């Protein structure tokens, strides 16, 4: 699993003109699933994101997690994170998991995050044409790939 995590002052997801998710301070997590991802990836990545210290403490040092600040989270599926651009100019998405594999893992990831986070996480809709709006705070943008954990 690969994620792009952005610390936001606000973020929202709109599908077909309807706002389906909206948060204030917190994290926008773009999540891409590959064909060989497992529940081990879900557990590791969930733990990493929820404990990632990217929010400022009383001294302005990034020393607090989204849990510490009681922030919110939006998770958006994003298969294009696994684009290969090595050949030509048209990205290839061969490594991205097909929906029959990706959807159950995406849903388990959300459930695992909610369980560990202790509150509801907002989401986009898998496979939908989404308009994602955010106000990146910092800017702080972190890329984490569960296949690069060592």
Confirm whether 6 is a catalytic residue: no
Q: In sequence order, what E strands does the chain have?
A: 2-15, 18-23, 26-32, 55-56, 62-64, 72-77, 122-123, 130-145
Give the integer Cα–Cα distance in Å for 86 and 2: 18
Q: Choose the catalytic residue: 3, 55, 79, 109.
A: 79
Does residue 58 have an active-site annotation?
no
78 assigned to active site: yes
Contacts of 70 (CB under 8 A, 6+ apart): none
Catalytic residue, from 38, 80, 111, 141: name it. 80
Which residue is catalytic, options 78, 109, 122, 123? 78
Q: Which residues are catalytic?
A: 78-80
């Amino acid at each position: 699993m690969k994620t792009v995590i952005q610390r936001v002052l606000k973020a929202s997801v709109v599908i077909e003109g309807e706002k389906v998710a909206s948060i204030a301070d917190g994290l926008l997590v773009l999540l891409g699933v590959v064909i060989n991802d497992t529940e081990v990836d879900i557990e590791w990545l969930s733990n990493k994101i929820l404990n990632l210290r990217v929010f400022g403490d009383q001294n302005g040092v990034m020393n607090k997690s989204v849990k510490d600040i009681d922030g919110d989270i939006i998770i958006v599926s994003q298969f294009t994170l696994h684009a290969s651009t090595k050949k030509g100019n048209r990205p290839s998405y061969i490594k991205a998991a097909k929906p029959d594999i990706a959807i159950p893992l995406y849903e388990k990831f959300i459930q695992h995050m909610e369980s560990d986070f202790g509150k509801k996480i907002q989401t986009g809709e898998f496979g939908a044409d989404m308009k994602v709006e955010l106000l990146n705070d910092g800017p702080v943008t972190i890329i984490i790939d569960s296949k690069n954990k060592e």
